[in-house]
Amino acid sequence: VEVETDVVSNTSGSARVKLGHTDILVGVKAEMGTPKLERPSEGYLEFFVDCSANATPEFEGRGGDDLGTEIANTLYRIFNNKSSVDLRSLCISPREHCWVLYVDVLLLECGGNLFDAISIAVKAALFNTRIPRVRVLEDEEGSKDIELSDDPYDCIRLSVENVPCIVTLCKIGCRHVVDATLQEEACSLASLLVSVTSKGVVTCMRKVGKGSLDPESIFEMMESSKRVGKVLHMSLQSLLHKEESLGPKRPKVGFLG
């Protein structure tokens, strides 16, 4: 897996991930909005997935729309719990102002194991996200004024400690394969998408494909996903911290490299 953060200049955070022949670019843009009625003291995330026609011939025309919607819905399910991202830290003033994080996922190339690569890229982009610090000033008449900090280093960072990564397990015969290629995916009739946190906690599960899975193999696949997920998180976290420690002078490859 190749991971690089801070590759798009006009975003709050970005990351590019190459996993075999799968290439993903994720950009996060923080914009001010109004909290949702049911969650007045929280910000929220919005996901948009664009399947580039260059990624695979199947995406030409409207071919990638269904897959894009499916990926976005899966990401909403993963992040629709309080433990993955601290949404309260995105609230500026309850019921009035909050930060909305627009997460744009661009599929540059599809070479199998798509969901895993996207989840890694989203986590890396959120780690890289910097949100300007805000002060709410209230005058004597009670009207509020919002002041954004001009200092690029005076910013809020999101904790991605509990952001899960997806581990896809493809059932082939009596066994299952992790990190399947396109050829291996073609041999599989049923796959299990499992989102796993760095502590090995399963937060969400989804079956894909027309085939069936017996309960015993599901438990076996879940154990594999926990084991693989822990190692994946550990490697990703150490890589992100190592890259950040190099500072702004580090050489960049970028998504055109």
Looking at residue 256, its pLDDT comes to 65
Looking at residue 76, its pLDDT comes to 94
Q: How far apart (Å, rounded) are the C-alpha atoms in residues 103 and 28?
A: 5
Residues sharing a CB contact under 8 Å with residue 82, sequence separation 6 or more, in sequence order: none
Looking at residue 255, its pLDDT comes to 67
Whether residue 233 contacts residue 216, with contact meaning beta carbons closer than 8 Å, is answered with: no
CB atoms within 10 A of CB 2: 12
AA letter at 114: L
Strand partners, 236: none
Looking at residue 61, its pLDDT comes to 66
pTM score > 0.85 for this model? yes
AA letter at 128: N
Looking at residue 200, its pLDDT comes to 92
Looking at residue 248, its pLDDT comes to 76
pLDDT along the chain (257 residues), means of 10: 91 93 94 92 94 75 80 92 87 90 94 93 96 81 74 83 95 91 91 94 92 91 95 94 86 73
Looking at residue 143, its pLDDT comes to 72
- Give the tokens for residue 195: 């989102």
Cα-based distances in Å from 118 to 62, 112, 195, 212? 20, 11, 12, 25
Residues sharing a CB contact under 8 Å with residue 75, sequence separation 6 or more, in sequence order: 47, 49, 103, 105, 118, 119, 122
Looking at residue 148, its pLDDT comes to 77
Looking at residue 182, its pLDDT comes to 87
- At residue 124's C-alpha, the angle toward residues 121 and 126, to 5°, is 110
Whether residue 158 contacts residue 57, with contact meaning beta carbons closer than 8 Å, is answered with: no
Looking at residue 246, its pLDDT comes to 87
Looking at residue 53, its pLDDT comes to 76
Residues sharing a CB contact under 8 Å with residue 53, sequence separation 6 or more, in sequence order: 59, 60, 64
Domains in the chain (CATH in brackets) are: 2-136+158-222 (3.30.230.70)
